[in-house]
Amino acid sequence: MKVGIARNARGLTPRISLKNLQVSSVRFQHQKVNPPSEENKPANADAPKKRRPLSRVAIGGSQDHERKYAKGTIEFAAWKAILVLFGAGGLATWWFQREKERIRIQKEVESKRGIGKPLIGGPFSLVDTENKPFTNLDLVGDKFSILYFGFTHCPDVCPDELDKLGEVLDTLKKDNNTELQPVFITCDPARDSPEVVKQYLTDFHPSIIGLTGTYENVKNACKKYRVYFSTPPDVKPGQDYLVDHSIFFYLMDPEGNFVDVIGREATATEAVEKIRLHIDAFVPKEEMERRKDSWLSFLYK
Q: Which of 279, 261, 275 is nearest to 167 (CA)?
A: 275
- Mean pLDDT for the stretch of residues 144-172: 96
Q: What pLDDT sits at residue 235? A: 74
Note the pLDDT tens digit of each residue in 85-128: 777 776 767 666 666 666 666 666 665 554 445 579 999 999 99
Helix count and strand count (H, E) for the chain: 7, 11
Please check whether residue 181 lies inside any domain of the structure.
Answer: yes
Contact assessment for residue 276 and residue 105, using Cβ atoms and an 8 Å cutoff: no
Note the pLDDT tens digit of each residue in 30-75: 455 555 555 555 555 555 556 665 555 555 555 555 555 455 565 6
Q: Where in the sequence is the domain holding 130, given as residue range(s)?
A: 125-300
- Count the neighbouring beta carbons within 10 Å of the beta carbon of residue 183: 21
Q: Compute the distance between CA of residue 168 and CA of residue 148 in angstroms, rounded to an integer.
A: 13
Q: Compute the distance between CA of residue 74 and CA of residue 72 in angstroms, rounded to an integer.
A: 5
Residue 152, pLDDT > 50, answer yes
Please check whether residue 118 lies inside any domain of the structure.
Answer: no
Q: Compute the distance between CA of residue 189 and CA of residue 245 in angstroms, rounded to an integer.
A: 13
Q: What pLDDT sits at residue 9? A: 44
Please check whether residue 102 lies inside any domain of the structure.
Answer: no
Domains contained in the chain, number: 1
Please check whether residue 96 lies inside any domain of the structure.
Answer: no
**Is 187 labelled as part of a ligand binding site?**
no
Q: What pLDDT sits at residue 150? A: 96
Q: Compute the distance between CA of residue 15 and CA of residue 43 in angstroms, rounded to an integer.
A: 56
Q: Looking at this protein, which amino acid is placed at residue 217?
A: N
Contact assessment for residue 214 and residue 189, using Cβ atoms and an 8 Å cutoff: yes
Please check whether residue 101 lies inside any domain of the structure.
Answer: no
Largest interatomic CA distance in the chain: 169
Please check whether residue 38 lies inside any domain of the structure.
Answer: no
Residue 21, pLDDT > 50, answer no
Please check whether residue 21 lies inside any domain of the structure.
Answer: no
Grade residue 3 by pLDDT with cuts at 50, 70 and 90. Answer: very low
Please give the model's pTM, rounded to 2 decimal places: 0.63
What CATH number does residue 161 fall under? 3.40.30.10
Grade residue 243 by pLDDT with cuts at 50, 70 and 90. Answer: very high
**Is 222 labelled as part of a ligand binding site?**
no
Q: What pLDDT sits at residue 4? A: 47
**Is 245 labelled as part of a ligand binding site?**
yes
Please check whether residue 3 lies inside any domain of the structure.
Answer: no
For 186-238, the DSSP string reads ES-TTT--HHHHHHHHTTS-TTPEEEE--HHHHHHHHHHTT--EE--SSPPTT
